[in-house]
Amino acid sequence: MGGYNYRGNDILGLANPIDYEPPLDGMPYTTLNYANGPGVNFTSGKRPNLTNVDTTSFDYIPQAAVPVEYETHGGEDVPIYSKGPMSHLLNGVKEQHYVAHVMQYAACVGDFKDDSHCKYTEPKPTCSGCCVTWDRVILFISLIGIYLQQIYFV
């Protein structure tokens, strides 16, 4: 990210830095910056003016400094939040290739589609439903009655 932008500044929009120091060429720049990618423009030796450009458009190609066909991943960390089945596999710091394998494993696709944890099994009743019998219900109500009687009639 370029500059020290205000919290809530559009990540795809133009930079709106807190301590604004204008670029030496006087041109605006986007909040999100790329060091390399297809957005290099060496034709005039100057950066294009983004004042009237919709940088949030799906078709917008961000400016870059080093010409390559595709932007490569930077060195920053990327957080991963997981919840649900197999989420215990995503704790702590993980390499990027590991994350792809965990997602396949948890979703039962790719190399893991036939693993044993992916087989369908009939749901089994839980103890919360199978263990409640009428005699236990009557016992529970009786105990509550005795407890309330001791509280209010002593």
- Largest CA-CA distance found in the chain, in angstroms, rounded: 95
Length of the chain as a residue count: 154
Structural domain including 135 reads 87-152
Residue at which a domain ends, from 43, 76, 109: 76
Residue 68 and residue 101 in one domain: no
Task: Among 76, 111, 127, identify where a domain stops.
Answer: 76
Q: Residue 132 corresponds to which tokens in the numbers above?
A: 């409640």
In this structure, the answer to whether residues 102 and 140 fall within a common structural domain is yes
Q: 58 in a domain, yes or no?
A: yes
Q: How confident is the model at residue 154 (pLDDT cuts 50, 70, 90)?
A: low
Question: Cβ of 74: how many Cβ atoms within 10 Å?
Answer: 11
Predicted structure pTM score: 0.42
24 and 63 co-located in one domain: yes
Instruction: Encode pLDDT of 71-102 as tens digits.
Output: 666 656 678 888 887 888 888 888 878 988 99
Please check the confidence at residue 30 and state whether its pLDDT lies above 80.
Answer: yes
Residue ending a domain, among 76, 96, 129, is: 76
Residues 135 and 72 in one domain: no
Asked, for residue 81, whether it belongs to a domain, the answer is no
In a shared domain, residues 38 and 101:
no
Residue 73, marked binder: yes
Structural domains in the chain (count): 2
Same domain, 55 and 99: no
pLDDT, one tens digit per residue, over 43-54 is 777 788 889 999
Say yes or no: 143 and 93 in one domain.
Answer: yes
Backbone torsions φ then ψ of 14, nearest 5 degrees: -80, 150
Residue 82 lies in a domain: no
